[in-house]
Amino acid sequence: MAVISAVSGGLPHPLLILPEIAKAIGLHVPNHVLFTWFVMAVLITLSLIVSKKISMVPGGLQNFFEMIIGGLEDFVVSNIGESGRKVFPIMCTIFLYIWFMNLCGLVPGFDAPTANINTNASMAIFVFLYYNYWGIRTHGFKYVKHFVGPMPALAPLMVPLELISHCARPLSLTLRLFGNIRGEEIVLVLLFTLAPVVSTLPMYFLFGLAKTIQAFIFFMLTMIYLKGSLEHAH
């Protein structure tokens, strides 16, 4: 969230910490890239901390991540089957990556990288390539059957529809995440401008929950696409 924390010419304007630091050291990088790097650094640091202090009786960060990762893994296996375990590491990484980027927007002086359409488009394209890769790897040339429909006679009709449907998936993933996160950021900034404490603090919980749900929706749609590519065409 670009928290209103500076005043210029009598009008408030957003002050983002990382871009200001980048300008000070002469680094010219788009804001969403800076905040993406920040989230990556946070996740890598947390993973190193947890991996160095693994114990049989989890506590603190280990317990937190085990609860999230274990719950997501059970969800994937219950929906995809045992074959879902081989794609789960990427799916879990996508969830944590998006979740932390979403929550980054709630930190004063920071902005959510997912509020930029370029960030979301890159992840959506990766998901598109990833589930098709697993479809081809699992079924080989028979993966084409996923596009021709249940009967060969329907192939001329089904192939164009399936191609359009699959090509629309990255666009859908991109715009859904972008629209929700950017909309929440705008509302939160407006609330902070109109009533800095009274209206904003209660909304933190609701928006934090909404950002978590959006990360899970992206994760769940990725799982559905992977499930379709891994199972046999009917």
Read off the pLDDT of residues 67-94 as tens digits, 9 standing for 90 and up.
999 999 999 999 998 988 999 999 999 9
The fraction of the chain above a pLDDT of 70, given in percent, is 90
Q: Does residue 62 belong to any structural domain of this protein?
A: no
Q: Does residue 115 belong to any structural domain of this protein?
A: yes
Q: Does residue 118 belong to any structural domain of this protein?
A: yes
Q: What total of structural domains would you count in the chain?
A: 1
Sign of CA dihedral 111, 115, 117, 123: positive
Q: Does residue 83 belong to any structural domain of this protein?
A: no
Q: How confident is the model at residue 199 (pLDDT cuts 50, 70, 90)?
A: low
What is the structure's pLDDT at 32? 92
Whether 10 shows a pLDDT value over 60: the answer reads no
Whether 4 shows a pLDDT value over 70: the answer reads no
Distance CA 220, CA 172 (A): 13
What is the structure's pLDDT at 95? 96
Q: How confident is the model at residue 159 (pLDDT cuts 50, 70, 90)?
A: confident
Q: Does residue 175 belong to any structural domain of this protein?
A: yes
Q: Does residue 120 belong to any structural domain of this protein?
A: yes
Which burial class, exposed, middle or buried, applies to 35 when counting CB atoms under 10 A from its CB (0-12, 13-18, 19+)? buried
What is the structure's pLDDT at 7? 34
Q: How confident is the model at residue 50 (pLDDT cuts 50, 70, 90)?
A: confident
The answer to whether residues 4 and 192 touch, using CB atoms and an 8 Å cutoff, is yes
Whether 160 shows a pLDDT value over 50: the answer reads yes
Q: What is the mean pLDDT of the chain?
A: 85
Q: Does residue 80 belong to any structural domain of this protein?
A: no
Taking Cα atoms as reference points, which of 29, 30, 182 lies closest to residue 105?
A: 182
- Least trusted range by pLDDT, from 17-21, 30-34, 42-46: 17-21
- Stretch 161-187: mean pLDDT: 90
Taking Cα atoms as reference points, which of 229, 31, 45 lies closest to residue 139?
A: 229
Q: Does residue 196 belong to any structural domain of this protein?
A: yes
- Stretch 153-167: mean pLDDT: 84
